[in-house]
């Protein structure tokens, strides 16, 4: 696994981290030599989410997210985004290799953003462990964290 992906995956919630790393390792092992899958982002801070949400609204640039801080599973370390590199070039085509990654992730209980009803998010994977963002935000606001961390108890 490349160092960038490993670094991003280690930012995930402690409950999600082991299965995400295992699924990622298995998925990469199944790819042909000319295809690499990389994790672009895992945990996203509330501050970063607010900045991303402002883009295209109150800050310059195109809109890049529909979720303000607290409404993204990235804020709780329960989501990550990936990209595929084929023959050294970024490849966001949802084709056979992409779907092989999806199949492996789903085997580990991870939901693919390409299956969302409404806005599709093909580079996105998440595991909510039965919680919606409102529950997680309430835990965050109440300070219901794993001791010594900023991860909410789930």
Domain spans of the chain? Answer: 3-142
CATH placement of domain 3-142 = 3.30.1380.10
Q: What is the per-residue pLDDT across 11-52, written as a single tens digit (0 to 9) for each?
A: 999 999 999 999 999 999 999 999 999 999 999 999 999 999
Residue 108 reports pLDDT greater than 90: yes
Mean of per-residue pLDDT scores for the chain:
96
What is the 3-state secondary structure of the chain?
CCHHHHHHHCCCCCCCHHHHHHHHHHHHHHCCCCEEEEEEECCCCHHHHHHHHHECCCECCCCCCCCCCCCCHHHHCCEEEEEEEECCEEECCCCHHHHHHHHHHHHCCCEEHHHCCCCCCCCEEECCCCCCHHHHHHHHHHCCECCCCCCECC
Q: What is the pTM of this model?
A: 0.93
pLDDT at 74: 98
Statement: residue 76 has pLDDT above 90: yes
């Amino acid at each position: 696994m490349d160092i960038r992906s490993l670094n991003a995956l280690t930012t995930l919630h402690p409950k999600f981290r082991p299965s995400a790393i295992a699924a990622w390792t298995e998925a990469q092992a199944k790819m042909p030599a000319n295809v690499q899958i990389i994790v672009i982002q895992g945990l996203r801070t509330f501050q970063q989410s607010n900045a991303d949400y402002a883009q295209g609204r109150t800050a310059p640039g195109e809109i890049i997210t529909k979720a303000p801080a607290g409404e993204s599973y990235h804020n709780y370390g329960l989501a990550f985004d990936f990209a595929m590199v084929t023959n050294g070039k970024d490849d966001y085509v949802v084709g056979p290799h992409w779907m092989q990654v999806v199949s492996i992730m789903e085997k580990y209980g991870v939901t693919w953003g390409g299956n969302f009803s409404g806005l599709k998010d093909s580079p996105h994977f998440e595991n909510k462990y039965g919680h919606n963002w409102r529950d997680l935000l309430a835990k965050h606001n109440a300070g219901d964290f794993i001791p010594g961390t900023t991860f909410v108890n789930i």
